[in-house]
Chain A
Amino acid sequence: MNFWLTQIALAGVYVVLVCSYDLVAGRAGLLSMGHAALFGVGAYVTALVMLHTNFTDILGLIPIAAIAAALLSLPIAALSLRVREEYFAVTSLGFAVAFIAALNNMSFLGLSEGLVGIPAATLGPVQLVSPGTVAIFTLCVAACVLVVTLWLVRSRWGLNLEAVRDSENGAVSFGINPVAMRTSAVVLSGAGAGIAGALYVVYADFVSPDTFDLPTLALIVAMLGLGQTIGKIGYVVGPALLVGVSAALEYLHIVSLTILGSVDQIIYGLVMVFAIMFIPRRAAAREAHQP
Chain B
Amino acid sequence: MAIAIESLRAGYGARTVLFDVDCEVRTGEILGIFGHNGAGKTTLLRVLAGSLPARSGAVRATGGELPVIRLVPQEEMVFEHLSVRENLMIGLWNDKAGWRTADQRIASVCELLPTVGRILGRRGGALSGGERRQVALARALLPEPDILLVDEPSLGLSPVAVDIVISELRELHAAGTTVVIVEQNLPVALGLVERYYVLRQGRITHETEVTAGQQPSLERLYELI
| Contact, CB under 8 Å: A163 / B100 | no
| Contact, CB under 8 Å: A163 / B90 | yes
User: What 1/0 mask marks residues of chain B from 120 to 147 whose CB sits below 8 Å from any chain A CB?
Assistant: 1111101000000000000000000000
Which of B51, B78, B89, B122 is within 8 Å of A285, CB to CB?
A: B122
Compute how far the CA of A166 lies from the CA of B124 in the bound complex, rounded to whole angstroms.
10
| Contact, CB under 8 Å: A159 / B86 | yes
B 103-130 contacts with A by CB, 8 A:
103, 120-124, 126
A 163-184 contacts with B by CB, 8 A:
163, 165-167, 169-171, 173-176
Compute how far the CA of A160 lies from the CA of B102 in the bound complex, rounded to whole angstroms.
16
Which of B77, B90, B93, B122 is within 8 Å of A284, CB to CB?
A: B122
| Contact, CB under 8 Å: A288 / B93 | no
Q: What bracket does the count of chain B residues touching chain A fall in?
A: 20 to 34
Beyond A174-B93, A175-B94, A284-B126, whether A156 also contacts B81 by CB under 8 A is no
| Contact, CB under 8 Å: B100 / A166 | no
Q: Does B57 contact A (CB under 8 A)?
A: no
Summarize B's interface: helix, strand, loop or mixed.
Answer: loop
Q: Does A125 contact B (CB under 8 A)?
A: no
Beyond A173-B73, A174-B90, whether A162 also contacts B103 by CB under 8 A is no
User: What 1/0 mask marks residues of chain B from 160 to 193 whose CB sits below 8 Å from any chain A CB?
Assistant: 0000000000000000000000000000000000
Q: Does A286 contact B (CB under 8 A)?
A: yes
| Contact, CB under 8 Å: A289 / B86 | yes
Summarize A's interface: helix, strand, loop or mixed.
Answer: loop
Compute how far the CA of A29 lies from the CA of B177 in the bound complex, rounded to whole angstroms.
39
Q: What bracket does the count of chain A residues touching chain B fall in?
A: 20 to 34
Which of chain A's residues has its CB closest to B76's CB? Answer: A170
Q: Does A291 contact B (CB under 8 A)?
A: yes
Which of B51, B81, B91, B103 is within 8 Å of A291, CB to CB?
A: B103
| Contact, CB under 8 Å: A286 / B100 | no
| Contact, CB under 8 Å: A174 / B91 | yes
User: What 1/0 mask marks residues of chain B from 76 to 104 whose CB sits below 8 Å from any chain A CB?
Assistant: 01111111011001110110000111110
Compute how far the CA of A54 lies from the CA of B75 in the bound complex, rounded to whole angstroms.
61
| Contact, CB under 8 Å: B80 / A166 | yes
Residues of chain B within 8 A (CB-CB) of A285 are: 83, 121-123
Beyond A166-B80, A170-B77, whether A288 also contacts B99 by CB under 8 A is no
Residues of chain B within 8 A (CB-CB) of A84 are: none
Compute how far the CA of A163 lies from the CA of B80 in the bound complex, rounded to whole angstroms.
9
Q: Does A282 contact B (CB under 8 A)?
A: yes
Q: A159-B89, A170-B77 are in contact. List 14 more A-B contacts (CB 8 A).
A: A160-B90, A162-B79, A162-B86, A163-B79, A166-B80, A167-B77, A167-B79, A169-B77, A173-B77, A174-B93, A176-B90, A284-B126, A291-B89, A291-B103
Residues of chain A within 8 A (CB-CB) of B94 are: 174-175
Compute how far the CA of A163 lies from the CA of B86 in the bound complex, rounded to whole angstroms.
9
Residues of chain A within 8 A (CB-CB) of B120 are: 288
| Contact, CB under 8 Å: B102 / A291 | yes
Binding site for A on B (CB under 8 A): 51, 73, 77-83, 85-86, 89-91, 93-94, 99-103, 120-124, 126
Compute how far the CA of A175 lies from the CA of B92 in the bound complex, rounded to whole angstroms.
11
In the assembled complex, the CB of B33 is this many whole angstroms from the nearest CB of chain A, namely 20
Residues of chain B within 8 A (CB-CB) of A288 are: 83, 85-86, 89, 120-121
| Contact, CB under 8 Å: A170 / B79 | yes
Beyond A285-B123, A291-B99, A291-B102, whether A165 also contacts B93 by CB under 8 A is no
| Contact, CB under 8 Å: A165 / B81 | yes
| Contact, CB under 8 Å: B101 / A291 | yes
| Contact, CB under 8 Å: B86 / A284 | no
Residues of chain A within 8 A (CB-CB) of B82 are: 159, 162-163, 166
Compute how far the CA of A20 lies from the CA of B74 in the bound complex, rounded to whole angstroms.
37
Compute how far the CA of A39 lies from the CA of B141 in the bound complex, rounded to whole angstroms.
45
20 interchain pairs, CB-CB under 8 A: A156-B93, A156-B99, A159-B89, A160-B93, A167-B77, A167-B80, A170-B78, A171-B90, A173-B51, A174-B90, A174-B91, A174-B93, A282-B123, A284-B121, A284-B122, A285-B83, A285-B121, A285-B123, A288-B120, A289-B89
Which of A169, A282, A289 is within 8 Å of B81, CB to CB?
A: A282
Compute how far the CA of A56 lies from the CA of B90 in the bound complex, rounded to whole angstroms.
45
Residues of chain A within 8 A (CB-CB) of B126 are: 284
Which of A159, A166, A170, A173 is within 8 Å of B93, CB to CB?
A: A159
A 245-291 contacts with B by CB, 8 A:
280-282, 284-286, 288-289, 291
